[in-house]
Amino acid sequence: MTTETRPKMHVPITKPSLGEEEARAPYESIKSGWVTQGPKVAAFEKAVAAYVGAKHGVATTSCTTGLHLALATLGIGPGDEVIVPSFTFIASANAILYTGATAVFADIDPRTYNVDPADVERRITNRTKAIMPVDQIGLACDIDAINEIATRHGLEVVEDAAPAIGESYYPQASAARGADRRTVRSEDDKGRTVGSNAHQTVFSFHPRKVITTGEGGMITTDDDALADRARKLRAHGMSVSDLDRHTADRVIIEEYHELGFNYRMSDIQASIGLVQLRRLPELLRIRRERAARYNAELRGIRGLETPYTPPYAEHTYQSYCLRLTSDCALDREVLMTNLLRRGIATRRGVMASHLEEVYLKRNGRVSLPVTEEATRTTMLIPLYATMTDDEQSYVIDALRQELDSH
């Protein structure tokens, strides 16, 4: 245990990368009077859809409400089942519960921490209506393998890509094409951007993500009917948007044909999002450089296992996730406490949603051994685009001192 009593430095787990341009961005919306959903939201939707190669973008108040909305557009409800990994933030499963459907938890791959397609297929029943894979911690799931299972069983796919905007998926290295972990990515596999690979994909713009609007989310899809229904449902089921009514040259009386929600992003948020989206390539480059340094300098520390990136994916590194191996000198909680005393914030890797009381009450005890091992042994350490060399050195040196001194 460290004997330091006053930290030399304070390093947060994450920090949004927001500057003067983002601070100025809402001014136009405020001056115009369009502070709720309006032209900036429409522009942001169009920009995100173009970036990921999808036909439509539908902005929402969060990724959670976006997931709920995506499921609602498919008519999923009581009596239905949706398969989802447990090893993810609880919001993924919660969105399923909001529809009245049942969240059926599947286990994960032990190296990628993404849902195991084989386990997904084992859990399909005659009540299964959809699969919700998660791009965990910013690493794309093997979406073609999931899509193939869904097609074979007549299921929908809603991809929870909360931390994965800007990431590419390389289909030739997919297990759906017979690839395995030894596969090397082909030079002629140009990749497809996450957001264009599932029937519906949902992103998050929470401050912990690569880009942020404070809070916010976005559905991307090529399906005209689903996009139209999502736009209506997010605005109380209104038959025509506020923007269309206010810019029309005739009187339009809106109608309400079904129960909707208030899941509308504001123009103030979208104006920030437009600036952040332009900065996305640079923010990703910096995060990947920081992760590469961690990979190089932490790999030799006994007891630590650095993140694995399969040939079919890139990583946005929303978070940098370490696994503590069986020969680690300290228990995870002891190590996290010692790092906190040094001024370094950490978090447990990822929760196991099926072990939380809200799901134990509903589903009973489900055995997911890979998930349970991962949630016990993983830990997130600081990584963000504005992280300085000195901050990262401080984290690396602290880990060495804590683990090499025992």
Q: Is residue 229 part of a domain?
A: yes
Q: If you average pLDDT over residues 13-19, what whole number do you get?
A: 96
What pLDDT is attached to residue 292?
98
What are the beta bridge partners of residue 57? 220
> Domain range holding 117?
20-404
User: Cβ distance 126 to 73 under 8 Å?
Assistant: no
Q: Is residue 15 part of a domain?
A: no
Side-chain-side CA neighbours of residue 212 (13 Å): 18
Question: Higher-confidence residue: 38 or 250?
Answer: 38
Our count of domains for the chain comes to 1
What are the tens digits of pLDDT across the range 206-228? 999 999 999 999 999 999 999 99
Instruction: Using the predicted structure, report yes or no on whether residue 243 has a pLDDT greater than 80.
Output: no
What pLDDT is attached to residue 404?
84
- What distance in Å separates the CA atoms of residue 307 and residue 112, rounded to the nearest whole number? 8
Instruction: Using the predicted structure, report yes or no on whether residue 391 has a pLDDT greater than 70.
Output: yes
Average pLDDT, the chain: 93
Q: If you average pLDDT over residues 343-372, what whole number do you get?
A: 95
Structure tokens at 132: 């919700």
* Residue 8 bears catalytic tag: no
Burial class (CB in 10 A: 0-12, 13-18, 19+), 75: exposed
Confidence of residue 245 (pLDDT cuts 50, 70, 90): confident
Q: Is residue 312 part of a domain?
A: yes
Q: Is residue 26 part of a domain?
A: yes
Question: Higher-confidence residue: 362 or 254?
Answer: 362
What pLDDT is attached to residue 51?
97
Confidence of residue 178 (pLDDT cuts 50, 70, 90): low
Structure tokens at 360: 């134990």
Confidence of residue 264 (pLDDT cuts 50, 70, 90): very high
Q: How are the residues of the chain apportioned to helix, strand and coil, as percentages rounded to the nearest 5?
A: 40, 15, 45
Q: Is residue 8 part of a domain?
A: no
User: Cβ distance 257 to 237 under 8 Å?
Assistant: yes
Instruction: Using the predicted structure, report yes or no on whether residue 161 has a pLDDT greater than 50.
Output: yes
User: Cβ distance 143 to 133 under 8 Å?
Assistant: yes
**CATH code assigned at 295:** 3.40.640.10
What are the tens digits of pLDDT across the range 62-121? 999 999 999 999 999 999 999 999 999 999 999 999 999 999 999 999 999 999 999 999
- Most confident range (mean pLDDT) of 31-45, 167-181, 184-198, 331-345 is 331-345
Instruction: Using the predicted structure, report yes or no on whether residue 308 has a pLDDT greater than 80.
Output: yes
% of the chain surpassing 70 pLDDT: 94
Q: Is residue 13 part of a domain?
A: no
Structure tokens at 400: 């060495």
The set of residues, in sequence order, having a beta carbon less than 8 Å from that of 216 and lying 6+ positions away, is: 59, 60, 61, 62, 204, 205, 206, 265, 269, 270, 273
Confidence of residue 301 (pLDDT cuts 50, 70, 90): very high
Structure tokens at 32: 């115009």
Q: Is residue 93 part of a domain?
A: yes
- What distance in Å separates the CA atoms of residue 136 and residue 317, rounded to the nearest whole number? 10
Instruction: Using the predicted structure, report yes or no on whether residue 60 has a pLDDT greater than 90.
Output: yes
The set of residues, in sequence order, having a beta carbon less than 8 Å from that of 126 and lying 6+ positions away, is: none
Structure tokens at 351: 């929760």
What pLDDT is attached to residue 10?
97
Instruction: Using the predicted structure, report yes or no on whether residue 177 has a pLDDT greater than 50.
Output: yes
Instruction: Using the predicted structure, report yes or no on whether residue 406 has a pLDDT greater than 60.
Output: yes
What pLDDT is attached to residue 1?
47
What pLDDT is attached to residue 190?
66
- The catalytic residue among 40, 129, 209, 232 is 209
Task: Give the containing element (helix H, strand E) for 330.
Answer: none
Q: Is residue 353 part of a domain?
A: yes
